[in-house]
Structure 1
Amino acid sequence: MEELTLIGKIAIFALPVIFAITLHEAAHGYVARYFGDMTAAAQGRITLNPLKHIDPIGTVLVPLAILLTSKLLGGGMILFGWAKPVPVNFGNLRRPKQDMLWVAAAGPGMNFVMAVFWALMIQLGHALGSSFASEPLMLMGAAGVFINVILMALNLIPLPPLDGGRIAVSLLPARLAMQFSRLEPYGLFILLGLLFTGVLGIILWPLISLFIGLIALVSGLEPAQLVGLIQVVLS
């Protein structure tokens, strides 16, 4: 396969990025409603309409800037972004501390499901053989696996307000949970600091490799094939 141009890379990543972020947020709202909080439902945020979730900076500008910078530097940067957070009033949950775990885990869980879906699209592209749609479908599938694995790994970092931070708050004893939750106003700044110092990559790449291997196992792909396709879309 030939190296993708910047325009080609944007075309390959556009749908996977939009749906990865959109369905991640919608999953939070759906599970919150299931456990008793109607805040997201009342604001129309439990929807597959991307326009309800897209943040112009986090969903569009940041991923585009990372793609452009990565292309100029020859790859290696971690692609990520964010959407408008789905509002959840944890106090409305039937068991706020316990149910917080399931609401938080719903986003990464949805990313896992989508990663498997995109891996199966690679299988479909392979089955199409020499069809004109085969290569684009396989490359989009690889982009879909990668962006969903990135979001899953990133959000599982135990740092409020990331999902992993909320899971940690749910699991910690009450006193420790309260102290740990006080990090939330500073979480984004800590995350950006980790990103620009390179520490975030050191934390994430082992998780990403583990999740890619798991997705390959679940979908029936050869790990080397999946990694090779991801390297093509990132190059």
Structure 2
Amino acid sequence: MEQFLAFSIEQLPFVIVSLVIAFTIHEFAHAYVAYKFGDPTAKNQGRLTLSPLAHLDPFGTLLLIIAGFGWARPVPVNRYFFKNPRLAGVLVSIAGPLSNLVLSFIGAVIWYFLMRFNMQGVGGDFLFGFFNTFITLNLLLFLFNLLPFPPLDGYRIIEDLAPPSVRAKMTQYESWGIFIFLVLVITPLDQYVIDPIFNSGIPFFMGIFDSILSTLIL
């Protein structure tokens, strides 16, 4: 069965719990920031909540477990409610990925304390295994969502920052961007384009976390 999964059977419980937390906080962050900037759309649709049931997409979650990439239910955002649509749009879009970066750092803090107290045995190994997975998946979601392809947050950020004329052209070719993104993720091209980002990005942020924690915690 493992050959059909992106993760090992041993990792699967850690992956599922981590994804439920990561997806829920990610989408809640979008909804919360949009609401704070005056858009009640997500709140009115029951998305301003920490309940995973409001945010998880069953197929998107299953696909991530099987194929290594997936999605949650996108939070609806109506930029017409924003007084400054470009600024608010950028902040709403970046809130999701940043929430995953914060979660990964929190996981790193806990992992660091486990190391300091030299936790061993079955309970310690379980916690180490969970937080390793939790940190890695949240960093992966942070980096993944910043890729500049629709419908990811990175694309939305660029779209909001772009001048109106450029944004209009981006909208025209958006469907092609989705196609290119799928080709890069699903085909062997991912090892040349997508994988290097993760293989370099995750260790980079892990190094930053280690530097911060080793400095702050004696």
The interval holding the TM-score normalised by the smaller chain is 0.7 to 0.9
Aligned counterpart in structure 2 of residue 218 of structure 1, from 190, 209, 212: 209
Shift of 1:104: 0.5
Please list every run of 5 or more consecutive structure 1 residues that lacks an aligned counterpart in the other structure: 67-78, 223-235
Shift of 1:114: 0.8
Provide the residue aligned with 2:4 in structure 1. Answer: none
User: Contact 1:169 / 1:177 at 8 angstroms: preserved in 2?
Assistant: yes
- Alignment length (residue pairs): 205
Q: Distance in 2 between matches of 1:93 and 1:63?
A: 33
Provide the residue aligned with 2:147 in structure 1. Answer: 157
Shift of 1:207: 3.1
Please list every run of 5 or more consecutive structure 2 residues that lacks an aligned counterpart in the other structure: 1-6, 214-218
Provide the residue aligned with 1:107 in structure 2. Answer: 96
Task: Report the secondary structure of 1:133's partner residue.
Answer: helix
Q: TM-score, normalized by length of structure 2?
A: 0.85
Does the C-alpha gap of structure 1 residues 120 and 58 become closer, same or farther in structure 2, counting only changes over 3 Å?
same
Cα deviation per residue 1:178-202 (whole Å; 9 max; x = unaligned)? Answer: 2113333344332211112233343
Q: Over aligned residues, Cα RMSD in angstroms?
A: 2.1
Determine which structure has greater relative contact order: mean sequence separation of CA pairs < 8 Å that are 6+ residues apart, divided by chain length: 1
Identity of aligned residues (%): 34
Shift of 1:98: 2.3
User: Contact 1:28 / 1:86 at 8 angstroms: preserved in 2?
Assistant: yes
Does the C-alpha gap of structure 1 residues 36 and 200 become closer, same or farther in structure 2, counting only changes over 3 Å?
farther
Structure 1, 209-218 or 152-161: larger mean CA deviation: 209-218
Where do 4+ consecutive residues of structure 1 move more than 6 Å?
none
Cα deviation per residue 1:139-168 (whole Å; 9 max; x = unaligned)? Answer: 111111211111111111112221111110
- Report 1:23-42 matches (<5 A): 23-42=25-44
Does the C-alpha gap of structure 1 residues 94 and 221 become closer, same or farther in structure 2, counting only changes over 3 Å?
closer
Q: TM-score, normalized by length of structure 1?
A: 0.79
Q: Distance in 1 between matches of 2:173 and 2:126?
A: 43
Structure 1, 202-211 or 84-93: larger mean CA deviation: 202-211
Provide the residue aligned with 1:135 in structure 2. Answer: 125
